[in-house]
C-alpha cells in the first residue's frame, strides 16, 4: 500500500532503470547536503495551540494575484522525459487539477506551448541562460505569449555539480548507453515499452517556433549544466526588458544576496540548494531560511524547496516564515510509479497532511502558522 511519498520512492526504485532512478534521487559529491535537507527538517518541531475553533481550516494562498489551493508548487525539474514520455504534460495536468502551480523547466522535454494548451493551471517558467542570450529571450517571449505568469531565474548553476551517480551510470550528453545500461533497460520492460517509437527525449524548448532542429551545442550545454557564467546582478535589467511579470530568483542561500535582490527590485526569492545536487558544502534550505527571511524583512515573498516529504514539513516552513514550498523529488516518484495519477495522489496527500497538521496545531489560516508555533528556534 502506497501511503506517502517515501512509499512511492521505494516503488520508483523498483520500476525505473538504475540510471534513471539515480538521476532523480541522487545529489552531489557525498550527498551530505541532500541528507541535511531532510534531517534538518526533521529536527524542527512545532507546538500546537489548543481549545481553538478549527471547524473550518483554510489552506489557500494568494500570491502575485493568483489563488493556490495550498502553499505548495511543483518545482522545476529537467529531463522528466526520462521517466516516461510526455512527463511534463502529466505534471502540468496533475498540478492544475490539484490547484497547485507548476514551474516548467527550461530543460523540459515538451514545448512550452503544448504544456499550456493541454493544461489550464498556474504555470511559471524557470530559466537557464546558456550561450547566446537570444535563446533565453526567445523562450521568455514564447512563455509570455502562452500565459506563463512568473519567471524563475535559477542562479546556482554557474557550473554543474559533481553528481557521481550520473557519472558512474554514464549519464551525460550526448548519451551513449553502455551494455550494462542496455541490460538494465531490458530488465524494466514496462518502462522501456513506453518509449517504443518515441526516441530519446529532447530539450524541446531549445528549438525555434518553426521546430527547426535544436543546436547540438546548446543541448550538450543544458544536458551537462554548462551555463553562461557571466550572468550577474546587472543582467537583471536585461531580464526586465524581456519579462514584465513577477521575477523570482531560485538558489538564494546567503542573506547578503537576499538583501541585494530586494534592492534590485526582484519580486520573490526561492531558498534552494538545488536539492543537494550542486554544492555539497552548503547548509540545508531550512537552516538557511531564517537568515534570508531576516534580510528580506517582509519586503518580498520567500519560498523554499529541498527535503520536503510531508505536509507537516510544509507547516514547519510556514511557521518559520516562508510563503510557500516547492516539491521536486516527491512528485517525480509519483510520476514514475503511476504517471499523472501518481502526481495527483502525491499532491493530494501533501495537501491533506497540511490540512491535518494545521487543524491539530490550532491554525485556521496560513498566517496563523508563525514563530509562536516553533518548539525549536533553529535546526
Q: Which residues are catalytic?
A: 274
Q: Are strands 302-305 and 268-271 parallel, antiparallel or unpaired?
A: parallel
- CA 142, 90, 67 angle in degrees (round to 5)? 70
Residue 54 CB neighbour total at 10 angstroms: 14
Q: Which three cell numbers stand for residue 293?
A: 527571511
Closest by Cα among 358, 354, 352, 379 to 370: 358
Report how far residue 325's alpha carbon sits from residue 329's, in angstroms, rounded to the nearest whole number. Answer: 13
Report how far residue 165's alpha carbon sits from residue 23's, in angstroms, rounded to the nearest whole number. Answer: 7
Residues 6+ apart with CB under 8 A from 182: none
Residue 367 CB neighbour total at 10 angstroms: 9
| Bridge partner residues of 63 (DSSP) | 66
- CA 201, 72, 242 angle in degrees (round to 5)? 60
Q: Can you list the alpha helix ranges (DSSP code H) found in the chain?
A: 5-15, 18-25, 32-43, 87-98, 112-117, 133-145, 164-168, 179-186, 189-193, 216-223, 235-242, 255-263, 285-296, 311-320, 329-361
Report how far residue 84's alpha carbon sits from residue 156's, in angstroms, rounded to the nearest whole number. Answer: 27
Amino acid at each position: 500500500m502506497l501511503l506517502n511519498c517515501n512509499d512511492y520512492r521505494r516503488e520508483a526504485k523498483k520500476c525505473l532503470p538504475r540510471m534513471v532512478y539515480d538521476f532523480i534521487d541522487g545529489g552531489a559529491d557525498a550527498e551530505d547536503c541532500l541528507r541535511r535537507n531532510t534531517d534538518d527538517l526533521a529536527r524542527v518541531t512545532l507546538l500546537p495551540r489548543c481549545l481553538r475553533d478549527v471547524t473550518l481550516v483554510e489552506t489557500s494562498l494568494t500570491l502575485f494575484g493568483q489563488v493556490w489551493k495550498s502553499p505548495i508548487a511543483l518545482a522545476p525539474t529537467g529531463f522528466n522525459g526520462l521517466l516516461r514520455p510526455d512527463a511534463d504534460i502529466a505534471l502540468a495536468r496533475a498540478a492544475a487539477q490539484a490547484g497547485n502551480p507548476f514551474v516548467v523547466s527550461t530543460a523540459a522535454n515538451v514545448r512550452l506551448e503544448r504544456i499550456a494548451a493541454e493544461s489550464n493551471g498556474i504555470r511559471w517558467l524557470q530559466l537557464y541562460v546558456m550561450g547566446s542570450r537570444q535563446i533565453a529571450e526567445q523562450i521568455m517571449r514564447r512563455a509570455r505569449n502562452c500565459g506563463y505568469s512568473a519567471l524563475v531565474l535559477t542562479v546556482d548553476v554557474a557550473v554543474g555539480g559533481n553528481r557521481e551517480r550520473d557519472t558512474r551510470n554514464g549519464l551525460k550528453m550526448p548519451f551513449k548507453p553502455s551494455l550494462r545500461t542496455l541490460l538494465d533497460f531490458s530488465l524494466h520492460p514496462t518502462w522501456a515499452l513506453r518509449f517504443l517509437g518515441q526516441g530519446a527525449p529532447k530539450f524541446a524548448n531549445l528549438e525555434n517556433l518553426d521546430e527547426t532542429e535544436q543546436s547540438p551545442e546548446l543541448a550538450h550545454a543544458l544536458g551537462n549544466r554548462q551555463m553562461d557564467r557571466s550572468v550577474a546582478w546587472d543582467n537583471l535589467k536585461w531580464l526586465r526588458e524581456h519579462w514584465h511579470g513577477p521575477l523570482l530568483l531560485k538558489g538564494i542561500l546567503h542573506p547578503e544576496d537576499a538583501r541585494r535582490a530586494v534592492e534590485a527590485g526582484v519580486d520573490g526569492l526561492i531558498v534552494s540548494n538545488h536539492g543537494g545536487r550542486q554544492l555539497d558544502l552548503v547548509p540545508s534550505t531550512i537552516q538557511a531560511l531564517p537568515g534570508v527571511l531576516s534580510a528580506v524583512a517582509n519586503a518580498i515573498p520567500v519560498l523554499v524547496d529541498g527535503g520536503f516529504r510531508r505536509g507537516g514539513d510544509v507547516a514547519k516552513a510556514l511557521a518559520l516564515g516562508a510563503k510557500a514550498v516547492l516539491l521536486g523529488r516527491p512528485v517525480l516518484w509519483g510520476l514514475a510509479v503511476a504517471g499523472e495519477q501518481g502526481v495527483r495522489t502525491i499532491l493530494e496527500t501533501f495537501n491533506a497532511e497540511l490540512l491535518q497538521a494545521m487543524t491539530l496545531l490550532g491554525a485556521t489560516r496560513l498566517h496563523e502558522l508563525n514563530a509562536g508555533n516553533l518548539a525549536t528556534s533553529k535546526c
